[in-house]
Amino acid sequence: MKRSSYTMTIRNQLILGGNKPVLFSGPCAVESLDICLEIGSKVKAYAQTHGFEYVFKASFDKANRTSGNSFRGIGFDQSLKVLEEVGKRLGVPLLTDVHESYQVESVASVVDVIQIPAFLCRQTDLLLAAGNSGKAVKIKRGQFMAPEDMQFAVDKIRSTGNQNVCLTERGFALGYHNLVVDMRAIPIMRQFAPVVFDVTHSVQQPGANLGSSGGQRQMAPYLARAAGAAGVDGFFIETHPEPSKALSDGPNMVPLSQMEAFLGMIREAWEMGDRYKDFSLI
């Protein structure tokens, strides 16, 4: 299977699909400036230690919670202010999700990477708005989408003239409350664009906690190592000092205290995948 030479430029010399893996990491949601700075500063240092490029991530609005009573965010404007301040203080690029086309312009004025949630990866108007923003666009593969069909989501972004697009693997739905990762999806999607592995949501159990999602974080090391060896270009990992107290996605987060060791482990797996990325069978 032919591996494409596609890359995605995030900022200046920060390139996904280049010579270094890219880490997208932070809390699930913008909870406060303090928690974002605590997480971002530590993860930035860990990333540098283990040879990752680093992009801080946090969702400014959790529009896809299982229950309407769940935490969504601290407000549109306030969340963007927090993200902007994190970027300035830490000197790092930023990523956040968008759920509606009208959000793109405001979000693009603050962040470097616009993320399209998995459930919205077919939404043409949203994809076109993201592409037209001129910012890098990261599309999550829908839990209902075949890997080969994600080329059409990529095509929608590129139709705007924006070539900076990547795909994200996060598992497919198998029955209720369960996701399974098919590692074949990584080389398949890598034919169309760089690929990021979403460690956090690949171990999620959607809606399994009676109104909120559960997770199997104990499986994260196995899937992350496998994805690294399979040839991903980067990793998406949500983390928190106290996952049990996180306001969203706590059960599938990597605890902040374990992030440094986790990154060292998956960097070794990534090096194996990079070493053999051009090895294929006919």
State the number of CA atoms in the 13 A half-sphere of 26 facing the CB: 31
Residue with tokens 């240092």: 45
Q: Residue 47 has which token pair?
A: 């990333």
pLDDT of residue 192: 97
- Phi-psi region at 136: left, alpha or beta (left = phi > 0; alpha = psi -120 to 50): beta
Q: State the Cα–Cα distance between residues 202 and 12, nearest whole angstrom.
A: 30
Task: Express each pLDDT in 135-145 by its tens digit.
Answer: 999 999 999 99
Secondary structure tally for the chain: helices H, strands E: 9, 15
Q: Is the pLDDT of residue 64 over 80?
A: no
Amino acid identity, residue 144?
F
pLDDT band per the 50, 70, 90 thresholds, residue 213: low
Q: What is the mean predicted confidence (pLDDT) over 83-87?
A: 98
Local confidence band at 281 (pLDDT 50, 70, 90 cut-offs): confident
Secondary structure of 213-246 in HEC code, one letter for each residue: CEECHHHHHHHHHHHHHHCCCEEEEEEECCHHHC
Taking only the tens place, the pLDDT of each residue in 145-199 is 999 999 999 999 999 999 999 999 999 998 888 899 999 999 999 999 999 999 9
199 by DSSP, 3-state: which? helix
- At 66 the pLDDT is 65
pLDDT recorded at residue 1: 64
Per the model's pLDDT, the better-predicted residue between 79 and 212 turns out to be: 79
